[in-house]
A and B are shown apart, each in its own frame.
Chain A
Amino acid sequence: MTDQTGKFETVDKVNEGFKSTGYICSTDIATTVYLAFHLGKPVLVEGPAGVGKTELAKKAALFMDVPLIRLQCYEGLDESKALYEWKYGKQLLYSQLLRDKLDQVIDKESDLGESIRTLHRYEDIFFSPQFLEPRPLLKALQEERGAVLLIDEVDKADEEFEAFLLEILSDFQVSIPEIGTVSARKRPYVFLTSNSTRELSEALKRRCLHLFIPFPAPDLEREIVRHHVPHIPDLLERQLVMFIHEVRKLELKKVPSISETIDWARALILLHAEGLDRDLTRKTLNTFLKFEEDIRTVDEKLFLLVDKALKETA
């Protein structure tokens, strides 16, 4: 605990810490993570695809040096997949293997009522922790040193599941009827991500800190690119980020994300580019545009876009 508190002493320290793991974050992000730690609240992260929502949770786990437990949500996800399940197979197998023992326990002479009463004394054996298969949520509660629990794309899960999450996120304990209540050994740090395919319930939002990650401002994105592609020439890096920002303003099926900016930067480095030019850009469009239509749209305006990027960075 103490070492964690040290890491979370100030917002700036959080910022630095994340930087050392390779995640460049804005004040918004650092402040929210800082608050989440001190208030013990889950963080609901929203934003367009590819701005590093999932990455944030991963890097948080790295930063705090605790395991990352991930629960990917999908339609039809239920408690048995998310929380725990009994190992039916093992239960059955054991009851077969132990048949002789059972025979011994149940005295052959005794009548039915007697046998059931005897069995009642043992039935809990088959519903004990040994037969319990913990799923991500339970696992996160059981971690000795705490964990980062990432509930990814929570908007894809059904509303019932959301209601069920509420219970866990507010008390950090679950009740398993056969065993009793399991409470967290140490509160996990929870990140929920959402792509806003549907509106999340008010109750869930109320319990979480809300973090909206937009596409980064040019300066921040440049820093990110510099961090991931250290040898990039200064001019190229500035032009490239400016170009991507212009492209994001167009109406595209899928706007280029940060990771695609980085991919592109790496590709250009491989091609020994010193600066942006039209020909090179046209040839490498497919590194950051993933739809034929998008490529066509950008290609049509390529002259303008490149020109603008060059002019603004001149």
Chain B
Amino acid sequence: MDRVLNYFIVSLRGAGVPVSVSESIDAAQALAITGYGNRQVVKSSLAATLAKSAAEKEIFDDCFERFFSFQAQTTAFAAGQENGEEQQPGDMPIPGIGGMIRDGDLGGIALAVRDAARTADLQSIRFFTQRGMFTARILQALNLDQLDRFVADLYREGSTGASAAARQLEQGRDALIDMVRRFVEEQYDIFARESTERIIERYLWDVRLTELEERHYERMHFLIRKLVKRMNERYSRRRRRAKRGALDFKQTLRANMHHGGLLFETRWKKKRMNRPDVVILCDVSRSMSTVVRFCLLMLYGLNEVVARVRSFVFCSSLLEVSHIFETCPVAEAVERLRTGEGLDIHMGRTDYGSAFWDFTNRHLDAVTGKTTVIILGDARSNYGDPADELLKKIAERCRRLIWLNPETPAMWGTGDSEMKRYIRLCDVVMECSTLRHLERLVRVLVRIP
């Protein structure tokens, strides 16, 4: 049973439940105590030791039902069997799996297939392209060629009884192949899901956000949530560490007043790491929309790292959208930005000049000496006035000006790109086209110049 349990745990991991070694030991111990008599009890004990959240429970239930089901596969085979039996049972000795086929020994066949799968090392299957190979290997381990030879011999014999038996065996053989194929398919589902997932994940870290396909959005949101969580954890820990330091004598005296001036409790001076106020200006023209989406998704998640975000979007004109993020969840808010629902914005040609003009005239008070201003855009202003003197005004007012450009640096300054002109005014200029770049942005944000 231990080996079965091991396989089951491998399959759980494959489906996305992170099972640690200590948990698998717990599971084995739990089974040793409860025994295997009652399926429901086995399921409950495994669930208690292996799946540790409501979401994991759901995956667990699904996996358990699939892993410990033997009927689904054999029924299809039984159908093939019945057909065979109608014709003729046949009495001659048939070697190996053929005998089981003739006798309709479904349990035996299922066991033989599982054994063969073990010989073929089926649990190492990782890619869907390997399915054919593993099917062939298992069939080989089942000595199918031996059966084939036997069937051929029967046909050659020519008597009606023999050819009927041969036909029956052939049908059984086809059912068997079918069953093995399905078995491999199932096991692929169980064991390989994880690695495919991991490959996609690695790909997503480096794919250009502008080229991201819509079907990956869900997964991308998940990755960003993970990234945000990690960043929040890392930088809040750093802030906490910065707290330890010198004794704060004033605070200590005050805290110990009620002990009659005896100093029991100590208070320490706190060093606060600054959490930047962020003002972000996003170019929301068609080419930029995915980058903006994921950048905002991340920024609004970073509540431990970033104190406050005010966001503006612009295309031909500029508009504040902070209120949308305040009223609905982030994921929903970015979705609303994408559809432009209820936004009073002019989606004409991108015009950086007029966007800066709008900002300096209407919202410049949003920028103080503590603010970090982030501009997210490709700086392609359609040959309009770049208005770099306005940007200079913003740059002088804020603490730091960061420009994120989704284009590769080689493209900056070509055609209608005004990037070269803006670069001199910014404190930090970064390419920002992949998830990895977004991660780097966080590090830049917390580093205090």
- The yes or no answer to B106 lying at the interface (CB within 8 A) is no
Stretch from A55-63, A127-135, A209-217 that touches the partner: A209-217
A35-B262 in contact (CB<8A): no
Q: Which residues of B contact A44 (CB under 8 A)?
A: 52
Q: Which residues of B contact A196 (CB under 8 A)?
A: 53-54
B22-A206 in contact (CB<8A): yes
Residue of B29, B30, B48, B260 near A211 (CB, 8 A) is: B48
Q: Which residues of A contact B33 (CB under 8 A)?
A: 34-35, 38-39
Q: Which residues of A contact B53 (CB under 8 A)?
A: 46, 196, 205, 210, 212
Chain A residue at minimum C-beta to C-beta distance from B22: A206
7 tightest Cβ-Cβ pairs between the two chains A and B: A31-B44, A205-B52, A209-B48, A32-B48, A210-B52, A28-B44, A27-B40
Sample 6 A-B pairs with CB under 8 A, ordered by A number.
A32-B44, A35-B34, A206-B20, A206-B23, A210-B48, A212-B53
Distance (Å) between the CB of A304 and the closest chain B CB?
29
A34-B34 in contact (CB<8A): yes
Most chain A CB neighbours (cut-off 10 Å) among B18, B52, B259: B52
A161 to B27: give the CA distance in the assembly, Å: 27
- The yes or no answer to B57 lying at the interface (CB within 8 A) is yes
Instruction: Say yes or no: A27-B52 contact (C-beta < 8 A), given A35-B30, A92-B262.
Output: no
Q: Which residues of A contact B47 (CB under 8 A)?
A: 28, 210, 212
Instruction: Say yes or no: A39-B26 contact (C-beta < 8 A), given A28-B44, A31-B44, A31-B45.
Output: yes
Which B residues between 24 and 58 are near A, CB-CB below 8 angstroms?
26, 29-30, 33-34, 38, 40-41, 44-45, 47-49, 51-54, 57
- The yes or no answer to B264 lying at the interface (CB within 8 A) is yes
A35-B259 in contact (CB<8A): no
Distance (Å) between the CB of A307 and the closest chain B CB?
32
Chain B residue at minimum C-beta to C-beta distance from A29: B44
Chain A residue at minimum C-beta to C-beta distance from B32: A38
**Main SS at interface, chain A:** helix
A212-B54 in contact (CB<8A): yes
A46-B48 in contact (CB<8A): no
Q: Which residues of A contact B264 (CB under 8 A)?
A: 88
Which A residues between 1 and 40 are near B, CB-CB below 8 angstroms?
11, 27-28, 30-32, 34-35, 38-39
| Mask: chain A, 39-67; 1 = CB below 8 Å from B; 0 = not | 10101101000000000000000000000
| Mask: chain B, 166-197; 1 = CB below 8 Å from A; 0 = not | 00000000000000000000000000000000
Q: Which residues of B contact A28 (CB under 8 A)?
A: 44, 47-48
Which B residues between 242 and 272 are near A, CB-CB below 8 angstroms?
259-260, 262, 264
B52-A31 in contact (CB<8A): no
Residue of A31, A206, A209 near B34 (CB, 8 A) is: A31
A45 to B264: give the CA distance in the assembly, Å: 38
| Mask: chain B, 62-77; 1 = CB below 8 Å from A; 0 = not | 0000000000000000
Q: Which residues of B contact A202 (CB under 8 A)?
A: 18
A46 to B260: give the CA distance in the assembly, Å: 46
| Mask: chain A, 67-109; 1 = CB below 8 Å from B; 0 = not | 0000000000000000000001000100000000000000000
B54-A39 in contact (CB<8A): no
**How many residues of A are in contact with the other chain, CB < 8 A?**
25
Q: A39-B30, A196-B54, A212-B54 are in contact. List 7 more A-B contacts (CB 8 A).
A: A31-B48, A35-B49, A41-B26, A44-B52, A88-B264, A92-B262, A208-B52
Q: Which residues of A contact B51 (CB under 8 A)?
A: 210
Distance (Å) between the CB of B120 and the closest chain A CB?
34
A11-B29 in contact (CB<8A): no
Q: Which residues of B contact A208 (CB under 8 A)?
A: 52
Q: Which residues of B contact A212 (CB under 8 A)?
A: 47, 53-54, 57
A32 to B41: give the CA distance in the assembly, Å: 9
Instruction: Say yes or no: A209-B41 contact (C-beta < 8 A), given A11-B34, A35-B34, A39-B33.
Output: no
Instruction: Say yes or no: A27-B48 contact (C-beta < 8 A), given A39-B29, A206-B23.
Output: no
A46-B34 in contact (CB<8A): no
Residue of B41, B49, B54, B262 near A11 (CB, 8 A) is: B41
A11 to B48: give the CA distance in the assembly, Å: 14
Which A residues between 105 and 162 are near B, CB-CB below 8 angstroms?
none
Distance (Å) between the CB of A204 and the closest chain B CB?
9
Q: Which residues of A contact B26 (CB under 8 A)?
A: 39, 41, 209
Q: Which residues of A contact B57 (CB under 8 A)?
A: 212
Distance (Å) between the CB of A16 and the closest chain B CB?
15
Distance (Å) between the CB of B39 and the closest chain A CB?
10
Q: Which residues of B contact A92 (CB under 8 A)?
A: 259-260, 262
A92 to B53: give the CA distance in the assembly, Å: 48
Chain B residue at minimum C-beta to C-beta distance from A47: B54
Most chain B CB neighbours (cut-off 10 Å) among A35, A38, A196, A211: A35
Q: Which residues of B contact A41 (CB under 8 A)?
A: 26
A211 to B51: give the CA distance in the assembly, Å: 9
A36 to B30: give the CA distance in the assembly, Å: 9
Chain B residue at minimum C-beta to C-beta distance from A89: B259
A206 to B56: give the CA distance in the assembly, Å: 13
A210 to B260: give the CA distance in the assembly, Å: 48
Q: Which residues of B contact A210 (CB under 8 A)?
A: 47-49, 51-53
Distance (Å) between the CB of A127 and the closest chain B CB?
12
Chain A residue at minimum C-beta to C-beta distance from B26: A39
A44 to B41: give the CA distance in the assembly, Å: 18
Q: Which residues of B contact A211 (CB under 8 A)?
A: 48
Q: Which residues of B contact A32 (CB under 8 A)?
A: 44-45, 48
| Mask: chain A, 181-215; 1 = CB below 8 Å from B; 0 = not | 00000000000000010000010011011111000
Most chain B CB neighbours (cut-off 10 Å) among A11, A27, A31, A209: A31
Distance (Å) between the CB of A12 and the closest chain B CB?
9
Q: Which residues of A contact B38 (CB under 8 A)?
A: 11
Which B residues between 215 and 265 are near A, CB-CB below 8 angstroms?
259-260, 262, 264
Distance (Å) between the CB of A100 and the closest chain B CB?
19
Distance (Å) between the CB of A213 and the closest chain B CB?
10
A195 to B348: give the CA distance in the assembly, Å: 48
| Mask: chain B, 292-314; 1 = CB below 8 Å from A; 0 = not | 00000000000000000000000
Distance (Å) between the CB of B301 and the closest chain A CB?
14
Distance (Å) between the CB of B213 and the closest chain A CB?
29
Most chain B CB neighbours (cut-off 10 Å) among A30, A196, A208, A209: A209
Chain A residue at minimum C-beta to C-beta distance from B229: A199
Distance (Å) between the CB of A132 and the closest chain B CB?
15
A211 to B264: give the CA distance in the assembly, Å: 42
Residue of A27, A43, A88, A205 near B44 (CB, 8 A) is: A27
A50 to B49: give the CA distance in the assembly, Å: 24
Chain B residue at minimum C-beta to C-beta distance from A96: B260
A209 to B308: give the CA distance in the assembly, Å: 39
Instruction: Say yes or no: A88-B259 contact (C-beta < 8 A), given A39-B26, A46-B53.
Output: yes
Q: Which residues of B contact A11 (CB under 8 A)?
A: 34, 38, 41
A31-B259 in contact (CB<8A): no
